[in-house]
Amino acid sequence: MRYIISFLLVASVGCGVKKAEHAKALNQVEVLTGELAATKKDLARFQKDNRRLGGKLEVTQKDRDANKKRNQALAQEMQATEEELEELRKQRAESEKRVQAFRDLNARFQSLVNTGKLEVTFRNGQMTLKLPSGVLFASGKGKLSKSGSVALQEVLNVLMAYKDRRFLIAGHTDNIPIRSKRFKDNWELSTARAVSVVHYMVGAGFPSKNLGAAGYGEFSPVANNDTKENRALNRRIEIVLVPDLSELPNLTAK
């Protein structure tokens, strides 16, 4: 009997120990469960924050890309502007060069300008020497008169310093129809006069490759053909300085 009681006491004590351990284990489970729930909550908050930050990062990256493109566009515009400014500087320098050449040429011809034999001007953007036809030709004639040859030689004495440049000799008339067996109309008369001037210049030593002739008839007047004086202004020979291609704006630029 005494042994049985001892066994029961030992068993009872053992059950108490197991219950305590079980309770402790349950308590640990509850603690771990709470920690797990907290961890899940933290994880959810972290994922939310991460998505928000990811969105901000994406927006920031887009802004950076947009800024980069804008900077590139501004750099290209700045480069284009600098190129345009440089081109404008070149054009201004060429324009000043042409104006100075005009002044020099005008100064050289001043004595002829003063006598009314010649006028130096710009017409249609080109430097032009204008000689009245009455100085060079008899009425209705296409051949240089003796006095016309003398007057033209005075002009040519100065032009020989520019014989490396190209010139167009242009003949012009008033609007009164010509009555001549030799010339059908004013176009033929104006052209014949221009060719006569070219022949004289070539004969005097001016390079033929730098000369051209054209007749405009009555179709490029400088005054209305309503008075005798105005018709006299329209009857003229023009020696037009043809600009070099290097003096023209860059028409091929894109």
Tens-digit pLDDT profile for residues 77-104: 878 888 888 888 888 887 787 778 778 8
Q: State if pTM tops 0.75.
A: no
Q: Percent of the chain scored above 90 by pLDDT?
A: 44
Residue with tokens 């070099």: 244
DSSP 175: S
Residue 172 has what pLDDT? 98
Q: CA of 118: how far to CAs of 90, 99, 148, 238, in Å? A: 32, 19, 12, 10
Spatial neighbors of 135 by CB under 8 A, at least 6 apart, are: 117, 147, 148, 151
Q: Are 236 and 221 in contact (CB under 8 A)?
A: no
Spatial neighbors of 43 by CB under 8 A, at least 6 apart, are: none
Residue 253, pLDDT > 70, answer no
In CATH, the number for domain 109-247 is: 3.30.1330.60
Residue 27 has what pLDDT? 80
How far apart CA 209 and CA 167 sit, in angstroms, is: 10
Residue 2, pLDDT > 80, answer no
Q: Are 169 and 242 in contact (CB under 8 A)?
A: no
DSSP alpha helix (H) spans, the chain: 2-108, 110-115, 133-136, 146-159, 186-203, 228-234
Q: Are 235 and 228 in contact (CB under 8 A)?
A: no
- Mean pLDDT confidence for 204-224: 97
- Tokens describing residue 160: 């020989």
Instruction: Report the side by side order of strands in the sheet with 166-172.
Output: 119-123, 126-132, 236-242, 166-172, 211-215
Local confidence band at 248 (pLDDT 50, 70, 90 cut-offs): low
Residue 198, pLDDT > 70, answer yes
CB atoms within 10 A of CB 152: 24
In a 3-state reduction of DSSP, which class is residue 219? Answer: coil
pLDDT in tens, 20-75: 777 777 787 788 788 888 888 888 887 887 778 777 777 778 888 888 888 888 88
Write down the mean pLDDT value for the chain.
Answer: 85
- Mean pLDDT confidence for 147-155: 94
In a 3-state reduction of DSSP, which class is residue 247? Answer: helix
Residue 5, pLDDT > 60, answer no
